[in-house]
Amino acid sequence: MEYHTKMKIKRFFRKPVVTYAFLFIQILAFILMTLDGGSTNTATLVKYGAKFNPYILFGEWWRLITPIFLHIGFMHLLMNSVTLYYLGEQLESVFGHLRFAGIYLLSGIAGNLASFAFSDSISAGASTSLFGLFGTAIMLGQTFKNNPAIQQIAKSFGTLIIINIVFGVFSSSIDMAGHLGGLAGGFLIAHAISVPNPMKHWRKKRIIYGSLFVVIIIILALIGYLSASTAIFGL
């Protein structure tokens, strides 16, 4: 491979390529849904993988992932896409491509499990993962207290968290369980898979946070299973 080609590839991977990929997937999904009944159509949303408790109960656990990339209406897509670009551009450079992807997807799953456990509504949107990125910013602020750049990022994200939570409290259309589940999931998983540190106490800390994340995931899955079973079968 020629030197110039290698340099182009290196420059490309310095960009937030995972963020770009996630943006592409959700925009493509929105176009497909728009052409196939509309992104606000309930049947279309369910068809493309929105969170729908009865189907999750019957084994379609992949619906804990697919809602991350689906959006209900153009404004929903636009707001989440702008937020993803802004957050992703900063956080992907801090964590690296693979860790950023892991945080985004796992916090989204945590958020959708919280929604499965505490909300019967059909839901979709990247907000579960975006709140996971907010949780990641809190983790950075706590971990790198002597880094002015990180502290500035944490403060700006903290303001966004407060605004979104307040807005969610006064809006019946917002899935607060999903948002808070994503926030907690992002905070925990960011601790667990953050940049490696050779110090023993840091490794122990990562194991503790990772274990806590797994325990919460299991608890939410059990609560969701019992809640959905009661709602459907009256058990």
Per-residue pLDDT of the chain (235 residues; tens, 9 = 90+): 554 444 444 555 578 899 999 999 999 999 999 999 999 999 999 999 999 999 999 999 999 999 999 999 999 999 899 989 988 988 898 888 999 999 999 999 999 999 999 999 999 999 999 999 999 988 888 877 777 777 777 777 776 777 666 665 555 567 889 999 999 999 999 999 876 555 566 778 888 999 999 999 999 999 999 999 988 877 5
Length, in residues, of the chain: 235
User: Tell me: domain 3-233, CATH 2.60.120.10, correct?
Assistant: no
* SS3 (DSSP) at 31: helix
**CB environment 74-111: b (16+ within 10 A), e (fewer):** eebbebbbebbebbbebbbebbebebbbbbbbbbbbbb
Can you tell me the distance from the alpha carbon of 23 to that of 32, in angstroms, rounded to the nearest whole number?
14
Does residue 120 contact residue 53 with C-beta atoms inside 8 Å? yes
SS3 for 188?
helix
Identity of residue 130: L
- Whether this prediction's pTM lies above 0.85 is answered by yes
Neighbours of 58 (CB within 10 A): 11
Distance (Å, whole) CA 92 – CA 14? 10
Just list the catalytic residues: 127, 179
User: Tokens standing for 225?
Assistant: 């299973």
CA-to-CA distance for 103 and 117, rounded, in angstroms?
A: 21
Provide CB contacts within 8 A for 156, sequence distance 6+. none
